[in-house]
Structure 1
Protein backbone atom coordinates (compact mmCIF):
# COMPACT_ATOMS: atom_id res chain seq x y z
CA UNK A 1 0.00 0.00 0.00
CA UNK A 2 1.28 3.44 -0.94
CA UNK A 3 2.42 5.57 1.99
CA UNK A 4 1.78 9.20 1.05
CA UNK A 5 4.46 10.45 3.47
CA UNK A 6 7.21 8.16 2.20
CA UNK A 7 7.49 9.94 -1.15
CA UNK A 8 7.29 13.54 0.07
CA UNK A 9 10.00 15.99 -0.89
CA UNK A 10 8.57 18.91 1.11
CA UNK A 11 8.44 18.60 4.90
CA UNK A 12 6.81 20.94 7.44
CA UNK A 13 8.07 21.58 10.97
CA UNK A 14 7.32 23.81 13.95
CA UNK A 15 10.31 26.14 14.27
CA UNK A 16 10.06 25.78 18.06
CA UNK A 17 10.17 21.97 17.88
CA UNK A 18 12.10 21.13 14.69
CA UNK A 19 12.56 17.47 15.57
CA UNK A 20 8.98 16.49 14.70
CA UNK A 21 7.56 16.48 11.19
CA UNK A 22 4.06 18.01 11.18
CA UNK A 23 3.23 17.24 7.57
CA UNK A 24 4.45 17.58 4.04
CA UNK A 25 3.84 17.42 0.34
CA UNK A 26 4.89 15.67 -2.85
CA UNK A 27 5.88 18.69 -4.92
CA UNK A 28 4.73 18.75 -8.54
CA UNK A 29 4.61 21.47 -11.19
CA UNK A 30 2.57 24.59 -10.60
CA UNK A 31 2.67 24.84 -6.80
CA UNK A 32 3.65 28.37 -5.80
CA UNK A 33 4.63 29.69 -2.39
CA UNK A 34 1.22 31.39 -2.20
CA UNK A 35 -0.41 28.00 -2.87
CA UNK A 36 1.72 26.47 -0.13
CA UNK A 37 0.62 29.06 2.42
CA UNK A 38 -3.04 28.42 1.58
CA UNK A 39 -2.53 24.67 1.95
CA UNK A 40 -0.77 25.11 5.30
CA UNK A 41 -3.80 27.10 6.48
CA UNK A 42 -6.07 24.16 5.65
CA UNK A 43 -3.95 21.72 7.65
CA UNK A 44 -3.11 23.96 10.63
CA UNK A 45 -4.92 26.53 12.76
CA UNK A 46 -3.13 29.58 14.18
CA UNK A 47 -4.18 32.00 16.94
CA UNK A 48 -1.57 34.54 15.83
CA UNK A 49 0.18 35.44 12.60
CA UNK A 50 2.85 33.18 11.19
CA UNK A 51 5.48 32.98 8.46
CA UNK A 52 7.31 30.14 6.77
CA UNK A 53 11.08 29.86 6.63
CA UNK A 54 13.15 27.50 4.54
CA UNK A 55 16.01 25.37 5.88
CA UNK A 56 18.43 28.25 5.25
CA UNK A 57 16.46 30.52 7.58
CA UNK A 58 15.07 32.66 4.76
CA UNK A 59 11.46 33.82 5.09
CA UNK A 60 9.30 32.50 2.26
CA UNK A 61 7.10 35.07 0.57
CA UNK A 62 3.44 34.52 -0.21
CA UNK A 63 3.74 35.04 -3.96
CA UNK A 64 3.83 33.32 -7.35
CA UNK A 65 7.38 31.99 -7.04
CA UNK A 66 7.56 28.21 -7.53
CA UNK A 67 7.85 26.29 -4.29
CA UNK A 68 11.12 24.36 -3.96
CA UNK A 69 11.67 20.93 -2.39
CA UNK A 70 13.06 20.98 1.16
CA UNK A 71 12.24 21.62 4.79
CA UNK A 72 9.93 24.46 5.85
CA UNK A 73 9.49 25.79 9.37
CA UNK A 74 6.40 27.51 10.75
CA UNK A 75 7.40 30.57 12.76
CA UNK A 76 4.78 32.03 15.10
CA UNK A 77 4.55 33.55 18.56
CA UNK A 78 1.24 31.78 19.03
CA UNK A 79 0.08 28.19 18.96
CA UNK A 80 -0.08 25.70 16.09
CA UNK A 81 -3.02 23.30 16.11
CA UNK A 82 -3.50 20.53 13.61
CA UNK A 83 -6.95 20.86 12.03
CA UNK A 84 -9.47 18.20 13.03
CA UNK A 85 -11.55 18.81 9.90
CA UNK A 86 -13.23 15.56 8.89
CA UNK A 87 -11.57 13.52 6.18
CA UNK A 88 -14.04 11.19 4.48
CA UNK A 89 -12.56 7.82 3.60
CA UNK A 90 -12.70 7.27 -0.14
CA UNK A 91 -11.53 4.51 -2.45
CA UNK A 92 -11.66 4.00 -6.20
CA UNK A 93 -14.60 1.66 -6.83
CA UNK A 94 -15.78 0.64 -10.32
CA UNK A 95 -17.57 3.52 -12.04
CA UNK A 96 -20.08 0.98 -13.38
CA UNK A 97 -21.77 1.16 -9.97
CA UNK A 98 -22.83 4.77 -10.60
CA UNK A 99 -26.40 5.72 -11.63
CA UNK A 100 -26.93 5.87 -15.38
CA UNK A 101 -28.53 9.33 -15.24
CA UNK A 102 -25.37 10.75 -13.66
CA UNK A 103 -22.96 9.10 -16.10
CA UNK A 104 -25.04 10.07 -19.14
CA UNK A 105 -25.28 13.73 -18.11
CA UNK A 106 -21.54 14.03 -17.43
CA UNK A 107 -20.65 12.36 -20.74
CA UNK A 108 -22.97 14.58 -22.76
CA UNK A 109 -21.61 17.75 -21.18
CA UNK A 110 -17.88 16.98 -21.28
CA UNK A 111 -17.42 14.76 -24.35
CA UNK A 112 -13.87 14.05 -23.21
CA UNK A 113 -11.45 14.24 -20.29
CA UNK A 114 -11.71 17.68 -18.69
CA UNK A 115 -8.20 17.53 -17.21
CA UNK A 116 -6.20 16.45 -20.26
CA UNK A 117 -8.50 18.11 -22.80
CA UNK A 118 -8.54 14.97 -24.94
CA UNK A 119 -11.96 14.30 -26.41
CA UNK A 120 -13.71 11.02 -27.12
CA UNK A 121 -13.41 10.58 -30.89
CA UNK A 122 -16.25 8.06 -31.06
CA UNK A 123 -18.58 9.72 -28.56
CA UNK A 124 -21.12 10.37 -31.31
CA UNK A 125 -21.70 6.62 -31.60
CA UNK A 126 -21.69 6.01 -27.85
CA UNK A 127 -18.13 4.69 -27.59
CA UNK A 128 -16.74 5.85 -24.24
CA UNK A 129 -14.13 3.18 -23.48
CA UNK A 130 -11.44 4.57 -21.16
CA UNK A 131 -13.50 7.59 -20.06
CA UNK A 132 -15.39 7.45 -16.76
CA UNK A 133 -17.66 9.82 -14.87
CA UNK A 134 -16.31 10.81 -11.46
CA UNK A 135 -18.24 12.21 -8.53
CA UNK A 136 -16.60 15.28 -7.01
CA UNK A 137 -18.47 14.75 -3.73
CA UNK A 138 -18.79 10.95 -3.33
CA UNK A 139 -22.15 9.27 -3.62
CA UNK A 140 -21.46 7.16 -0.52
CA UNK A 141 -21.70 10.24 1.68
CA UNK A 142 -25.09 11.52 0.57
CA UNK A 143 -26.06 11.82 4.25
CA UNK A 144 -23.11 14.19 4.75
CA UNK A 145 -24.10 16.06 1.58
CA UNK A 146 -27.63 16.56 2.91
CA UNK A 147 -26.55 17.44 6.46
CA UNK A 148 -24.26 20.23 5.25
CA UNK A 149 -26.68 21.52 2.59
CA UNK A 150 -24.44 21.06 -0.44
CA UNK A 151 -27.57 20.53 -2.50
CA UNK A 152 -28.39 24.21 -1.99
CA UNK A 153 -25.66 25.07 -4.53
CA UNK A 154 -27.07 22.79 -7.21
CA UNK A 155 -29.20 24.51 -9.85
CA UNK A 156 -29.63 21.56 -12.23
CA UNK A 157 -31.61 18.83 -10.51
CA UNK A 158 -31.43 15.31 -11.98
CA UNK A 159 -34.57 13.34 -12.74
CA UNK A 160 -34.11 11.32 -9.54
CA UNK A 161 -34.38 14.57 -7.54
CA UNK A 162 -31.26 13.53 -5.63
CA UNK A 163 -29.07 16.61 -5.98
CA UNK A 164 -25.85 14.66 -5.39
CA UNK A 165 -26.46 12.98 -8.78
CA UNK A 166 -26.50 16.32 -10.57
CA UNK A 167 -24.14 16.90 -13.49
CA UNK A 168 -22.87 19.82 -11.35
CA UNK A 169 -21.20 17.24 -9.08
CA UNK A 170 -19.37 15.31 -11.79
CA UNK A 171 -16.40 15.28 -14.15
CA UNK A 172 -15.48 13.06 -17.09
CA UNK A 173 -11.93 11.73 -16.80
CA UNK A 174 -9.70 9.08 -18.28
CA UNK A 175 -9.90 6.00 -16.08
CA UNK A 176 -6.46 6.43 -14.47
CA UNK A 177 -7.24 10.05 -13.61
CA UNK A 178 -10.65 9.05 -12.25
CA UNK A 179 -8.89 6.64 -9.87
CA UNK A 180 -6.39 9.34 -8.86
CA UNK A 181 -9.21 11.84 -8.35
CA UNK A 182 -11.18 9.37 -6.22
CA UNK A 183 -8.03 8.73 -4.17
CA UNK A 184 -7.38 12.46 -3.66
CA UNK A 185 -4.09 12.24 -5.55
CA UNK A 186 -5.21 14.92 -8.02
CA UNK A 187 -7.63 17.78 -7.47
CA UNK A 188 -8.75 21.15 -8.81
CA UNK A 189 -8.32 24.43 -6.93
CA UNK A 190 -11.26 26.69 -7.89
CA UNK A 191 -9.67 29.57 -5.96
CA UNK A 192 -6.57 29.60 -8.16
CA UNK A 193 -8.11 29.88 -11.61
CA UNK A 194 -9.14 26.20 -11.56
CA UNK A 195 -5.58 24.97 -11.38
CA UNK A 196 -5.02 21.21 -11.48
CA UNK A 197 -2.93 20.13 -8.49
CA UNK A 198 -1.23 16.73 -8.41
CA UNK A 199 -0.37 15.40 -4.96
CA UNK A 200 1.50 12.40 -6.35
CA UNK A 201 3.68 11.94 -9.40
CA UNK A 202 2.18 13.47 -12.54
CA UNK A 203 2.09 10.91 -15.34
CA UNK A 204 -0.19 13.01 -17.55
CA UNK A 205 1.68 16.35 -17.59
CA UNK A 206 -1.33 18.19 -16.18
CA UNK A 207 0.06 19.50 -12.87
CA UNK A 208 -0.10 23.28 -12.80
CA UNK A 209 -2.35 23.54 -15.85
CA UNK A 210 -5.85 25.00 -15.69
CA UNK A 211 -9.25 23.76 -16.76
CA UNK A 212 -10.32 24.97 -20.17
CA UNK A 213 -11.99 28.38 -20.10
CA UNK A 214 -15.01 27.14 -22.04
CA UNK A 215 -15.56 24.42 -19.46
CA UNK A 216 -15.24 26.86 -16.56
CA UNK A 217 -17.80 29.18 -18.16
CA UNK A 218 -20.30 26.34 -18.73
CA UNK A 219 -23.20 26.76 -16.25
CA UNK A 220 -23.48 22.95 -16.10
CA UNK A 221 -19.97 22.46 -14.76
CA UNK A 222 -19.33 21.39 -11.14
CA UNK A 223 -20.09 24.19 -8.71
CA UNK A 224 -17.17 25.81 -6.90
CA UNK A 225 -18.41 24.66 -3.50
CA UNK A 226 -17.97 20.97 -4.27
CA UNK A 227 -14.67 21.52 -6.09
CA UNK A 228 -13.44 23.44 -3.06
CA UNK A 229 -14.57 20.62 -0.76
CA UNK A 230 -12.63 18.06 -2.81
CA UNK A 231 -9.51 20.23 -2.86
CA UNK A 232 -9.58 20.63 0.94
CA UNK A 233 -10.02 16.87 1.33
CA UNK A 234 -7.03 16.27 -0.95
CA UNK A 235 -4.86 18.67 1.06
CA UNK A 236 -5.82 16.99 4.32
CA UNK A 237 -5.31 13.49 2.91
CA UNK A 238 -1.87 14.25 1.55
CA UNK A 239 -0.37 16.90 3.83
CA UNK A 240 -1.68 16.34 7.38
CA UNK A 241 0.59 14.26 9.61
CA UNK A 242 1.71 11.09 7.85
CA UNK A 243 -1.12 11.34 5.35
CA UNK A 244 -4.15 9.13 4.88
CA UNK A 245 -4.00 5.62 3.41
CA UNK A 246 -4.29 5.00 -0.32
CA UNK A 247 -6.50 1.95 -0.71
CA UNK A 248 -5.95 -0.96 -3.06
CA UNK A 249 -8.60 -1.07 -5.77
CA UNK A 250 -7.22 -3.71 -8.15
CA UNK A 251 -7.98 -7.00 -6.45
CA UNK A 252 -6.54 -10.07 -8.23
CA UNK A 253 -8.92 -12.74 -9.50
CA UNK A 254 -9.81 -15.20 -6.76
CA UNK A 255 -8.93 -12.84 -3.91
CA UNK A 256 -11.23 -12.42 -0.92
CA UNK A 257 -12.03 -8.73 -1.25
CA UNK A 258 -13.88 -8.56 2.06
CA UNK A 259 -10.96 -10.12 3.93
CA UNK A 260 -8.50 -7.77 2.22
CA UNK A 261 -10.54 -4.73 3.17
CA UNK A 262 -11.13 -5.81 6.77
CA UNK A 263 -7.42 -6.54 7.31
CA UNK A 264 -6.39 -3.13 5.98
CA UNK A 265 -6.37 0.37 7.51
CA UNK A 266 -9.61 2.15 8.44
CA UNK A 267 -11.47 -1.11 7.75
CA UNK A 268 -14.84 0.02 9.13
CA UNK A 269 -14.86 3.31 7.26
CA UNK A 270 -13.66 1.62 4.07
CA UNK A 271 -16.38 -1.02 4.27
CA UNK A 272 -19.05 1.64 4.84
CA UNK A 273 -17.82 3.57 1.82
CA UNK A 274 -17.77 0.48 -0.40
CA UNK A 275 -21.26 -0.63 0.61
CA UNK A 276 -22.91 2.77 0.31
CA UNK A 277 -21.26 3.44 -3.05
CA UNK A 278 -22.17 0.09 -4.56
CA UNK A 279 -25.74 0.10 -3.23
CA UNK A 280 -26.56 3.79 -3.68
CA UNK A 281 -28.02 3.29 -7.14
CA UNK A 282 -30.52 0.72 -5.97
CA UNK A 283 -33.92 1.21 -4.41
CA UNK A 284 -36.16 -1.18 -2.51
CA UNK A 285 -39.32 -2.15 -4.38
CA UNK A 286 -42.45 -3.15 -2.47
Structure 2
Protein backbone atom coordinates (compact mmCIF):
# COMPACT_ATOMS: atom_id res chain seq x y z
CA UNK A 1 0.00 0.00 0.00
CA UNK A 2 1.47 3.39 -0.96
CA UNK A 3 2.66 5.63 1.83
CA UNK A 4 5.13 3.27 3.55
CA UNK A 5 7.54 4.98 5.95
CA UNK A 6 10.55 3.31 7.54
CA UNK A 7 10.15 4.05 11.25
CA UNK A 8 12.78 1.56 12.42
CA UNK A 9 15.63 4.05 12.08
CA UNK A 10 15.86 7.72 12.98
CA UNK A 11 15.92 9.83 9.81
CA UNK A 12 15.26 13.41 8.84
CA UNK A 13 15.91 13.04 5.09
CA UNK A 14 13.53 10.69 3.28
CA UNK A 15 13.62 9.52 -0.34
CA UNK A 16 10.31 8.31 -1.78
CA UNK A 17 9.44 6.55 -4.99
CA UNK A 18 6.58 7.53 -7.27
CA UNK A 19 4.12 5.55 -5.15
CA UNK A 20 4.92 7.61 -2.05
CA UNK A 21 6.83 4.72 -0.44
CA UNK A 22 10.05 5.48 1.42
CA UNK A 23 12.92 3.56 -0.18
CA UNK A 24 16.01 5.31 1.23
CA UNK A 25 16.91 7.89 3.85
CA UNK A 26 19.47 9.05 6.37
CA UNK A 27 20.07 11.31 9.34
CA UNK A 28 21.41 14.68 8.18
CA UNK A 29 23.72 15.86 10.93
CA UNK A 30 24.58 19.14 9.25
CA UNK A 31 27.18 18.68 6.52
CA UNK A 32 26.06 16.27 3.78
CA UNK A 33 25.69 18.00 0.40
CA UNK A 34 23.82 17.04 -2.76
CA UNK A 35 27.17 16.46 -4.46
CA UNK A 36 27.99 13.85 -1.82
CA UNK A 37 24.53 12.35 -2.14
CA UNK A 38 25.21 11.89 -5.85
CA UNK A 39 28.07 9.57 -4.90
CA UNK A 40 26.06 7.87 -2.17
CA UNK A 41 23.23 7.07 -4.57
CA UNK A 42 25.75 5.51 -6.95
CA UNK A 43 26.58 3.10 -4.12
CA UNK A 44 23.00 2.28 -3.13
CA UNK A 45 21.05 2.35 -6.41
CA UNK A 46 21.83 -0.41 -8.93
CA UNK A 47 20.93 1.64 -11.99
CA UNK A 48 22.80 4.00 -14.32
CA UNK A 49 22.83 7.53 -12.97
CA UNK A 50 21.14 8.69 -16.19
CA UNK A 51 18.10 6.51 -15.38
CA UNK A 52 16.87 8.47 -12.35
CA UNK A 53 16.69 11.97 -10.90
CA UNK A 54 15.94 13.46 -7.49
CA UNK A 55 13.04 15.89 -7.18
CA UNK A 56 11.59 17.98 -4.37
CA UNK A 57 8.24 16.74 -3.07
CA UNK A 58 4.93 18.58 -2.89
CA UNK A 59 3.32 18.60 0.57
CA UNK A 60 5.93 16.10 1.77
CA UNK A 61 4.78 13.39 -0.62
CA UNK A 62 4.34 12.45 -4.25
CA UNK A 63 1.28 10.99 -5.94
CA UNK A 64 1.14 7.47 -7.35
CA UNK A 65 1.32 8.87 -10.87
CA UNK A 66 4.66 10.53 -10.05
CA UNK A 67 3.50 13.88 -11.39
CA UNK A 68 3.02 15.76 -8.09
CA UNK A 69 6.64 16.69 -7.62
CA UNK A 70 8.47 19.95 -7.31
CA UNK A 71 11.72 20.93 -8.97
CA UNK A 72 14.49 18.65 -10.20
CA UNK A 73 17.64 18.78 -8.06
CA UNK A 74 21.10 18.97 -9.59
CA UNK A 75 23.32 16.41 -7.88
CA UNK A 76 26.80 16.27 -9.45
CA UNK A 77 29.07 18.88 -7.91
CA UNK A 78 26.23 20.58 -6.02
CA UNK A 79 27.71 22.03 -2.78
CA UNK A 80 24.30 22.81 -1.24
CA UNK A 81 23.77 21.12 2.12
CA UNK A 82 20.71 18.86 1.99
CA UNK A 83 17.80 20.28 3.98
CA UNK A 84 15.86 17.77 6.12
CA UNK A 85 12.61 16.79 4.44
CA UNK A 86 11.10 14.56 1.77
CA UNK A 87 12.41 14.03 -1.76
CA UNK A 88 11.36 11.76 -4.59
CA UNK A 89 13.39 9.55 -6.91
CA UNK A 90 11.74 9.51 -10.33
CA UNK A 91 12.75 9.29 -13.94
CA UNK A 92 14.58 12.30 -15.46
CA UNK A 93 11.19 13.28 -16.92
CA UNK A 94 9.49 13.12 -13.51
CA UNK A 95 7.60 9.87 -14.06
CA UNK A 96 7.21 6.88 -11.73
CA UNK A 97 10.21 4.61 -11.71
CA UNK A 98 11.06 1.18 -10.34
CA UNK A 99 14.16 1.99 -8.30
CA UNK A 100 16.53 -0.97 -8.04
CA UNK A 101 18.37 -1.02 -4.72
CA UNK A 102 21.78 -2.64 -4.23
CA UNK A 103 21.19 -5.93 -2.39
CA UNK A 104 24.74 -6.14 -1.03
CA UNK A 105 24.77 -7.13 2.62
CA UNK A 106 26.74 -5.20 5.22
CA UNK A 107 28.93 -7.46 7.40
CA UNK A 108 28.06 -6.82 11.06
CA UNK A 109 30.82 -5.65 13.37
CA UNK A 110 31.31 -5.87 17.10
CA UNK A 111 33.33 -3.44 19.16
CA UNK A 112 36.73 -5.13 19.38
CA UNK A 113 38.02 -5.74 22.88
CA UNK A 114 41.62 -6.28 23.94
CA UNK A 115 42.60 -9.77 24.98
CA UNK A 116 43.93 -10.21 28.50
CA UNK A 117 47.14 -11.66 27.00
CA UNK A 118 47.55 -10.08 23.56
CA UNK A 119 50.08 -11.72 21.28
CA UNK A 120 53.11 -9.88 19.85
CA UNK A 121 51.29 -9.07 16.58
CA UNK A 122 48.47 -7.28 18.35
CA UNK A 123 50.89 -5.51 20.66
CA UNK A 124 52.92 -4.33 17.66
CA UNK A 125 49.74 -3.13 15.94
CA UNK A 126 48.64 -1.23 19.01
CA UNK A 127 52.06 0.33 19.58
CA UNK A 128 52.45 1.48 15.97
CA UNK A 129 48.95 2.99 15.74
CA UNK A 130 49.45 4.80 19.05
CA UNK A 131 52.88 6.16 18.11
CA UNK A 132 51.69 7.39 14.72
CA UNK A 133 48.42 9.07 15.73
CA UNK A 134 48.83 10.14 19.37
CA UNK A 135 45.28 11.49 19.23
CA UNK A 136 41.80 10.41 18.19
CA UNK A 137 41.81 10.88 14.41
CA UNK A 138 38.14 11.98 14.50
CA UNK A 139 37.87 14.28 17.53
CA UNK A 140 41.59 15.24 17.42
CA UNK A 141 41.68 14.91 21.21
CA UNK A 142 45.35 14.45 22.05
CA UNK A 143 46.99 11.84 24.24
CA UNK A 144 48.96 13.28 27.16
CA UNK A 145 51.71 11.56 29.15
CA UNK A 146 51.29 8.46 26.96
CA UNK A 147 48.04 7.67 28.79
CA UNK A 148 45.83 5.72 26.36
CA UNK A 149 43.23 4.59 28.91
CA UNK A 150 40.33 6.12 26.91
CA UNK A 151 41.81 5.52 23.45
CA UNK A 152 41.58 2.42 21.30
CA UNK A 153 43.81 1.26 18.44
CA UNK A 154 40.95 0.20 16.18
CA UNK A 155 41.07 -2.06 13.13
CA UNK A 156 39.51 -0.43 10.06
CA UNK A 157 38.78 -3.85 8.54
CA UNK A 158 37.51 -5.93 11.48
CA UNK A 159 39.60 -8.77 12.82
CA UNK A 160 36.44 -10.89 13.15
CA UNK A 161 36.27 -11.03 9.33
CA UNK A 162 39.73 -12.39 8.70
CA UNK A 163 38.25 -14.81 6.16
CA UNK A 164 36.81 -11.91 4.13
CA UNK A 165 40.13 -10.10 4.43
CA UNK A 166 41.92 -13.05 2.90
CA UNK A 167 39.40 -13.86 0.14
CA UNK A 168 39.27 -10.19 -0.80
CA UNK A 169 43.08 -10.05 -0.96
CA UNK A 170 43.05 -6.82 1.04
CA UNK A 171 46.71 -7.22 1.96
CA UNK A 172 47.46 -6.25 -1.65
CA UNK A 173 46.37 -2.64 -1.00
CA UNK A 174 49.01 -2.21 1.73
CA UNK A 175 52.44 -0.66 1.32
CA UNK A 176 53.51 -1.22 4.92
CA UNK A 177 56.90 -2.95 4.96
CA UNK A 178 56.89 -3.66 8.71
CA UNK A 179 53.49 -5.31 9.25
CA UNK A 180 53.40 -8.15 11.78
CA UNK A 181 51.82 -11.53 11.08
CA UNK A 182 51.20 -13.35 7.81
CA UNK A 183 47.80 -11.92 6.85
CA UNK A 184 48.59 -8.19 7.05
CA UNK A 185 45.39 -7.44 8.97
CA UNK A 186 47.52 -6.11 11.85
CA UNK A 187 49.24 -3.56 9.60
CA UNK A 188 49.37 -0.03 10.93
CA UNK A 189 47.61 0.90 7.68
CA UNK A 190 44.57 -1.05 8.91
CA UNK A 191 44.50 0.91 12.16
CA UNK A 192 43.39 4.27 13.50
CA UNK A 193 43.40 5.65 17.03
CA UNK A 194 39.91 6.45 18.29
CA UNK A 195 38.31 7.71 21.46
CA UNK A 196 36.49 4.74 22.98
CA UNK A 197 33.03 6.26 22.34
CA UNK A 198 33.86 7.09 18.73
CA UNK A 199 35.28 3.57 18.34
CA UNK A 200 31.84 2.19 19.19
CA UNK A 201 30.21 4.48 16.60
CA UNK A 202 32.83 3.48 14.01
CA UNK A 203 32.20 -0.21 14.58
CA UNK A 204 28.44 0.36 14.28
CA UNK A 205 28.89 2.25 10.97
CA UNK A 206 27.56 5.42 12.61
CA UNK A 207 30.65 7.48 11.83
CA UNK A 208 32.85 7.10 8.76
CA UNK A 209 35.53 8.95 6.82
CA UNK A 210 35.50 9.39 3.04
CA UNK A 211 39.05 9.39 1.61
CA UNK A 212 37.68 10.52 -1.77
CA UNK A 213 36.31 13.68 -0.16
CA UNK A 214 39.37 14.93 1.74
CA UNK A 215 38.80 12.28 4.44
CA UNK A 216 35.63 14.11 5.50
CA UNK A 217 34.06 12.80 8.72
CA UNK A 218 30.32 12.05 8.58
CA UNK A 219 28.10 11.04 11.48
CA UNK A 220 25.01 9.00 10.61
CA UNK A 221 23.47 9.46 14.06
CA UNK A 222 22.57 12.71 15.74
CA UNK A 223 24.24 13.13 19.12
CA UNK A 224 24.83 15.92 21.61
CA UNK A 225 28.52 15.88 20.72
CA UNK A 226 29.74 15.05 17.22
CA UNK A 227 33.41 16.11 17.32
CA UNK A 228 34.94 16.53 13.89
CA UNK A 229 31.65 16.29 12.01
CA UNK A 230 32.15 17.61 8.47
CA UNK A 231 35.90 18.08 8.97
CA UNK A 232 38.81 16.00 7.64
CA UNK A 233 40.19 13.21 9.82
CA UNK A 234 43.63 13.67 11.30
CA UNK A 235 46.62 12.28 9.38
CA UNK A 236 50.04 12.66 10.96
CA UNK A 237 52.10 14.68 8.45
CA UNK A 238 55.37 13.31 9.86
CA UNK A 239 54.68 9.76 8.62
CA UNK A 240 55.22 8.60 5.03
CA UNK A 241 52.30 7.39 2.92
CA UNK A 242 53.26 3.72 3.33
CA UNK A 243 52.40 3.94 7.04
CA UNK A 244 49.26 6.08 6.76
CA UNK A 245 45.74 4.60 7.11
CA UNK A 246 44.85 2.85 3.86
CA UNK A 247 42.57 4.85 1.56
CA UNK A 248 41.13 1.61 0.16
CA UNK A 249 40.23 0.26 3.61
CA UNK A 250 38.67 3.54 4.75
CA UNK A 251 36.74 3.71 1.48
CA UNK A 252 35.44 0.17 2.07
CA UNK A 253 34.25 1.09 5.57
CA UNK A 254 32.64 4.29 4.25
CA UNK A 255 30.83 2.33 1.53
CA UNK A 256 29.48 -0.10 4.12
CA UNK A 257 28.32 2.82 6.30
CA UNK A 258 26.45 4.39 3.37
CA UNK A 259 24.77 1.09 2.49
CA UNK A 260 23.92 0.35 6.11
CA UNK A 261 22.38 3.73 6.85
CA UNK A 262 20.69 4.71 3.59
CA UNK A 263 19.03 1.32 3.26
CA UNK A 264 17.86 1.43 6.86
CA UNK A 265 20.02 -1.34 8.27
CA UNK A 266 21.54 0.87 10.95
CA UNK A 267 19.27 -0.75 13.52
CA UNK A 268 19.75 -4.31 12.32
CA UNK A 269 22.71 -4.95 14.61
CA UNK A 270 21.80 -2.65 17.47
CA UNK A 271 23.77 -4.42 20.19
CA UNK A 272 24.02 -3.06 23.69
CA UNK A 273 27.69 -2.64 24.63
CA UNK A 274 26.89 -1.38 28.14
CA UNK A 275 27.43 -4.55 30.17
CA UNK A 276 27.80 -3.83 33.87
CA UNK A 277 31.14 -4.97 35.34
CA UNK A 278 30.76 -8.22 37.24
CA UNK A 279 27.89 -9.50 35.10
CA UNK A 280 28.17 -12.65 32.95
CA UNK A 281 29.05 -11.10 29.59
CA UNK A 282 28.44 -14.34 27.68
CA UNK A 283 24.97 -14.65 29.22
CA UNK A 284 24.19 -11.00 28.50
CA UNK A 285 25.32 -11.28 24.88
CA UNK A 286 23.63 -14.60 24.15
CA UNK A 287 20.40 -13.36 25.70
CA UNK A 288 20.20 -10.25 23.55
CA UNK A 289 18.57 -9.87 20.18
CA UNK A 290 20.87 -11.21 17.43
CA UNK A 291 22.83 -12.74 20.30
CA UNK A 292 23.94 -15.88 18.46
CA UNK A 293 25.46 -13.85 15.62
CA UNK A 294 27.14 -11.46 18.01
CA UNK A 295 28.56 -14.32 20.09
CA UNK A 296 29.96 -15.96 16.95
CA UNK A 297 31.63 -12.70 15.94
CA UNK A 298 33.13 -12.24 19.40
CA UNK A 299 34.57 -15.75 19.28
CA UNK A 300 35.79 -15.29 15.70
CA UNK A 301 37.56 -12.07 16.66
CA UNK A 302 39.46 -13.82 19.41
CA UNK A 303 40.34 -16.88 17.31
CA UNK A 304 41.39 -14.78 14.34
CA UNK A 305 43.68 -12.75 16.59
CA UNK A 306 45.70 -15.93 17.05
CA UNK A 307 45.74 -16.82 13.33
CA UNK A 308 46.49 -13.45 11.73
Normalised by the length of structure 2, the TM-score is: 0.82
Q: In structure 1, what is the equivalent of residue 63 of structure 2?
A: none
Q: Give 3-state SS (helix, strand or coil) of 1:280's partner.
A: helix
Matches within 5 A, 1:124-163: 127-156=147-176, 157-163=178-184
Query: Mean Cα displacement is larger for which, 106-115 or 40-49?
Result: 40-49
* Aligned residue pair count: 276
Q: In structure 2, what is the equivalent of residue 65 of structure 1?
A: 80
Q: 1:230 aligns with which of 253, 263, 275?
A: 253
Matches within 5 A, 1:204-223: 204-212=226-234, 214-215=236-237, 218-219=240-241, 220-223=243-246
Identify, as 1 or 2, the structure richer in strand.
1
Distance 1:132 1:96, change over 3 A: farther
Q: In structure 2, what is the equivalent of residue 80 of structure 1?
A: 99
1:194 aligns with 2:215: yes
Q: In structure 2, what is the equivalent of residue 240 of structure 1?
A: 263
Take 2:231 and 2:115, find their aligned partners in 1: how far apart are those partners? 29
Distance 1:209 1:91, change over 3 A: same
Q: 1:6 aligns with which of 2, 9, 14?
A: 9
Note the C-alpha offset of 1:278: 2.4
Take 1:216 and 1:43, find their aligned partners in 2: how far apart are those partners? 37
Unaligned regions of 5+ residues in structure 2, if any?
A: 1-5, 59-69
Distance 1:8 1:120, change over 3 A: same
Note the C-alpha offset of 1:263: 4.2
1:270 aligns with 2:285: no
Q: 2:109 aligns with which of 90, 100, 112?
A: 90
Note the C-alpha offset of 1:67: 0.8
CA contact (8 A) 2:235 2:244 kept: no
Q: In structure 2, what is the equivalent of residue 54 of structure 1?
A: 56
Note the C-alpha offset of 1:8: 0.9
**Taking CA–CA contacts closer than 8 Å with sequence separation of 6 or more, which of the two structures ends up with the larger relative contact order?**
1
Distance 1:235 1:95, change over 3 A: farther
Q: Give 3-state SS (helix, strand or coil) of 2:306's partner.
A: coil
Q: In structure 1, what is the equivalent of residue 304 of structure 2?
A: 280
Distance 1:174 1:237, change over 3 A: same
Take 1:149 and 1:155, find their aligned partners in 2: how far apart are those partners? 13
CA contact (8 A) 2:128 2:188 kept: yes
Take 1:257 and 1:65, find their aligned partners in 2: how far apart are those partners? 46
Q: 2:188 aligns with which of 123, 146, 167?
A: 167
Distance 1:129 1:216, change over 3 A: same
Distance 1:96 1:31, change over 3 A: farther
CA offsets, 1:175-218, max 9 Å, x none?
A: 11111111111000111111001001241331101124655974
1:184 aligns with 2:186: no
Q: Give 3-state SS (helix, strand or coil) of 2:227's partner.
A: coil
CA contact (8 A) 1:196 1:211 kept: yes
Output the aligned Cα RMSD.
2.4
Take 1:108 and 1:217, find their aligned partners in 2: how far apart are those partners? 10
Q: Give 3-state SS (helix, strand or coil) of 1:235's partner.
A: helix
Distance 1:217 1:266, change over 3 A: same
